[in-house]
Amino acid sequence: MSIAVVGSVNMDVVARVPRIPGPGETLLATGSSRGGGGKGANQVVGAARAGGADAAFIGAVGDDPDGRQLRAWLEADGIDVSGLATAAEPSGVALISVDDDAENAIVVVAGANGALTSLNDAQRGIVAAADTVAAQLEVPVELVEAAADARGDGALFVLNAAPSEPLTSPDVAERVLDKVDVLIVNEHELLDIAGVADQSEAVDLLAARVPALVVTLGAVGSIIALGPERAQVPAFPVTPVDTTGAGDTFCGVFAAHLGRGPLDLDALVAAARAGAAASAIAVTRPGAQPAVPTAAEVAALLASP
Ligand code: ADP
């Protein structure tokens, strides 16, 4: 089984603050750290640590120390980075504040993540060989479409529509959603893309647009919609310290567990349960990639009474 993730990679610069500062305010942090981030890279780390699937990452970093560090961190997880390009722009950076209630505020400087709008031959080959292709919307939407188009016969295309902004354009939404097998959104992205204010109406609208839909609801868990069928997958109760990357851990582990499907409710629920266990552990630890648990940790939580 193999998974190719096409997306963003950032250096996360995290400051622990007593509270999120307001406009014009200067606050002293109580600590700071740097770690691997970016939705694409977080998700491929989730997939790699889930075990059972060879994981490859396609994206771009800059020709700079952050880029070399980000590449090395992915390699240390056994991820194939032969499709990770070095672009003229600097590596992407995310400036993250996390407060004592695990609330966060994030500014992303995309940098090299905006550089790729198509796949080269080597990258296309990696995507074509994968059983599952996963993408997010933190890179140009043209790259996401190219990834979906390059997938092999029978491979699943899993899109985490985060951020949702590109899909609020009806033309783009129509083009992209036509290629999707499983769409994953959080509650805000759900309402944005559906263009309605009511959650269950939005689920019905999007469930009619894609073969399978997963809506993550933070500490509540997730909803799976497959045509007219619905299932709820509860979150595991934990006390979070940093929810950065919770959704990414969920998506990466979900995609790795789903593999090539089948797209039936049982398979989707099993994959979402694994994603929920992995993300519950991740939110109890600081950082994005450093917080992603191993397969053994996830299996232990899934087996606990
Ligand atoms: P995003 O980070 O994209 O906003 P969510 O906040 O919906 O995504 O979280 C994704 C998944 O992570 C949830 O479905 C849940 O399983 C898990 N999760 C998130 N926050 C918590 C929490 N406080 N406690 C337990 N699990 C959580």
pLDDT in tens, 244-290: 899 999 999 999 999 898 999 999 999 999 999 999 999 999 999 99
Based on the residue annotation, tell me whether 248 is a catalytic residue of this protein.
yes
C-alpha to C-alpha distances, 245 to 26, 34, 35, 40, 253, nearest whole angstrom: 25, 14, 12, 10, 12
- Smallest CA separation from ligand 1 atom 24, residue: 219
Q: Which domains does the chain have, with CATH numbers?
A: 2-303 (3.40.1190.20)
Instruction: Sort 121 into a burial class: Cβ within 10 Å, 0-12 / 13-18 / 19+.
Output: exposed
- Give the residue ranges of DSSP H helices in the chain: 39-50, 65-76, 121-129, 141-150, 170-177, 187-194, 199-207, 246-258, 265-282, 295-303
Torsion of the alpha carbons at 10, 11, 17 and 19, rounded to the nearest 10:
-10
- Closest C-alpha among 253, 255, 256 to residue 277: 253
pLDDT at 261: 87
Closest residue by CA, ligand 1 atom 9: 218
* Residue 206 to residue 85: CA distance in whole angstroms: 34
Print pLDDT tens along the chain (305 aa). Answer: 999 999 999 999 999 999 999 999 999 999 999 999 999 999 999 999 998 889 999 999 999 999 999 999 999 999 999 999 999 999 999 999 999 998 899 999 999 999 999 999 999 999 999 999 999 999 999 999 999 999 999 999 999 999 999 999 999 999 999 999 999 999 999 999 999 999 999 999 999 999 999 999 999 999 999 999 999 999 999 999 999 899 999 999 999 999 898 999 999 999 999 999 999 999 999 999 999 999 999 999 999 87
Report field, pTM of the whole predicted structure over 0.95: yes
245 CA to middle of ligand 1, Å?
Answer: 9
Neighbours of 174 (CB within 10 A): 11
Q: What is the distance in A from the centroid of ligand 1 to the CA of 60?
A: 27
d(CA 277, CA 236): 6
Our mutation pick for probing the ligand 1 site, out of 283, 284, 292, counting the most ligand atoms within 8 A of Cβ, is 283
Closest protein CA for atom 2 of ligand 1: 247
Closest CA to 252 of 42, 22, 85, 27: 42
Rounded CA separation 291/93 (Å): 18
Output the ligand 1 site: residues, CB below 6 A.
Answer: 162, 186, 216-219, 221-222, 235-236, 238, 240, 243, 246-247, 250, 276, 279-280, 283
Rg of the Cα trace of the chain? 18
Q: Please tell me the predicted confidence (pLDDT) of residue 52.
A: 85
First to last CA, the chain: 29
Pocket residue to mutate for ligand 1, from 164, 279, 285, most atoms within 8 A of Cβ: 279
Phi/psi at 3 (nearest 5 deg)? -135, 135
